[in-house]
């Protein structure tokens, strides 16, 4: 039988294209972590439960993230109306809570004129140094340096921060998290301002019990008591519960949140609490395929918030990542 070279190329090309269509997109790839003892930092002790709560906003906003160079990114945010968060579903009583501990080195420039620079370096003894400098305008700035060390059983850090180059704002915070058994960890945090008088330290103690699909954590400090419960029913359905009591108000508050992911890339987050507040956010990624096999993502976000006066507020947002 005579072989046709052109026909053979077409058959091979068709076979490769069929395989490519079966492969998941980059954003859908699930990475299975190796089974080993995972250490949780103190600032992430309530991360799973609190991440299920939506960030409700009102008004309209557009956020554009553009890579200028390898380590330089430009963030452009345009707000129309009151697009900032007007209701906090929970309080943050741990230093740098819900903020990324491991950030990439580089420079982030905001369209408002502020800039954030991050530098990391590994030191002798297993320490990692992270230096972060934020310049918001000509007179407002913030500098933070953190030394962190992690071993098989514990992870600890020492942070020093200063605002507006004013020594009176110098604050030192030390965090320490120790894994007592594979499922239970305890942590402490001590923060104080050495140049203030009297130098009264702020002390808190935390505990965390975790399973593969379950996490129970609590923190006790001078600001109050907080208990967080996280439960994952399935890979696309999560539940978060927060019970808190303020030291000043003495009122107990219960908040419940639900996080649902859909097969088409959509995401729904909703919450309700005992203060008769509630709301939800719904977001969906719209993919645009370009001629150079590049994929552009447009994220559409809708928000509804019911405040204490039982007023219904609406918000819409667009996130572009170029």
Q: Rg of the chain's alpha carbons, rounded to an integer? A: 24
N-to-C CA span, the chain: 51
| Full DSSP string of 42-58 | GGGTTHHHHHTS-----
Q: For 11-63, what is each residue's pLDDT tens digit?
A: 545 544 543 443 334 444 333 333 345 788 999 999 999 999 999 988 888 88
Q: Is 267 helix (H, G, I), strand (E, B) or coil?
A: strand
User: How far from the centroid of its chain's Cα atoms is residue 210's Cα?
Assistant: 19
Beta carbons within 8 Å of 47's beta carbon, 6+ residues apart: 40, 98
Query: What letters, b where the CB count within 10 A reaches 16 and e where it falls short, cover 55-67?
Result: ebbbbbbebeeee
pLDDT of residue 141: 86
Q: For 171-196, what is each residue's pLDDT tens digit?
A: 999 999 999 999 999 999 999 999 88
Q: Where are the beta strands (DSSP E) in the chain?
A: 59-69, 72-80, 106-110, 115-122, 127-135, 141-150, 154-163, 171-181, 184-192, 202-211, 214-221, 224-234, 237-246, 252-261, 267-273, 278-289, 295-306, 312-321
pLDDT of residue 7: 59
Asked if residue 24 has a cis previous peptide bond (ω within 30° of 0), the answer is no
Token pair, residue 157, equals: 């850090």
Closest CA to 259 of 278, 231, 229, 284: 231
DSSP lists the bridge partners of residue 130 as 120, 146
Q: Is 200 helix (H, G, I), strand (E, B) or coil?
A: coil
Q: For 120-143, what is each residue's pLDDT tens digit?
A: 888 888 899 999 988 877 678 889
The one-character DSSP state at 308 is T
pLDDT band, residue 158 (cuts 50/70/90): very high
Closest CA to 210 of 169, 247, 182: 182
Q: Is 3 helix (H, G, I), strand (E, B) or coil?
A: coil
What's the CA gap between 180 and 278, in Å, rounded?
A: 37
The pLDDT mean for the chain works out to 83
Q: For 106-124, what is each residue's pLDDT tens digit?
A: 888 877 778 888 888 888 8
Question: 10 Å Cβ neighbour count for 204?
Answer: 20
């Amino acid at each position: 039988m005579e072989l046709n070279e052109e026909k053979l190329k077409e058959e091979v090309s068709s076979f490769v294209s069929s395989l490519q269509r079966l492969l998941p997109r980059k954003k859908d790839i699930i990475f299975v972590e190796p089974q080993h003892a995972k250490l949780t930092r103190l600032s992430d002790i309530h991360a799973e439960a609190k991440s299920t709560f939506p960030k409700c906003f009102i008004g309209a906003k557009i956020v554009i993230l553009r890579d200028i160079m390898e380590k330089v990114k430009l963030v452009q945010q345009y707000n129309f109306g009151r697009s900032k968060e007007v209701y906090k579903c929970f309080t943050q009583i741990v230093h740098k809570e819900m903020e990324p501990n491991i950030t990439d080195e580089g420079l982030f420039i905001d369209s408002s004129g502020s800039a954030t620079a991050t530098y990391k370096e590994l030191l002798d003894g297993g320490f990692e140094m992270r230096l972060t400098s934020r310049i918001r305008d000509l007179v407002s700035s913030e500098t933070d340096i953190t030394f962190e060390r992690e071993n098989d059983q514990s992870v600890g850090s020492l942070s020093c921060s200063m605002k507006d180059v004013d020594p009176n704002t110098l604050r030192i915070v030390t965090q320490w998290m120790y894994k007592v058994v594979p499922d239970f960890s305890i942590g402490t945090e001590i923060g104080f301002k050495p140049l203030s008088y009297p130098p009264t330290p702020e002390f808190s103690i935390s505990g965390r019990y975790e399973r593969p699909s379950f996490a129970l954590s609590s923190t006790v400090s001078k600001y109050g008591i907080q208990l967080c419960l996280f439960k994952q029913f399935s890979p696309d359905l999560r539940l978060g519960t927060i019970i808190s009591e303020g030291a000043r108000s003495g009122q107990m508050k219960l908040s419940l949140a639900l996080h649902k992911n859909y097969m088409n890339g959509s995401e729904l987050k909703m919450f309700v609490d005992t203060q008769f507040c509630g709301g939800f956010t719904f977001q969906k990624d719209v993919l645009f395929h370009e001629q150079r096999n590049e994929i552009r993502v447009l994220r559409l976000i809708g928000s509804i918030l019911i405040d204490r006066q039982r007023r219904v507020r609406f918000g819409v947002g667009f996130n572009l990542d170029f």
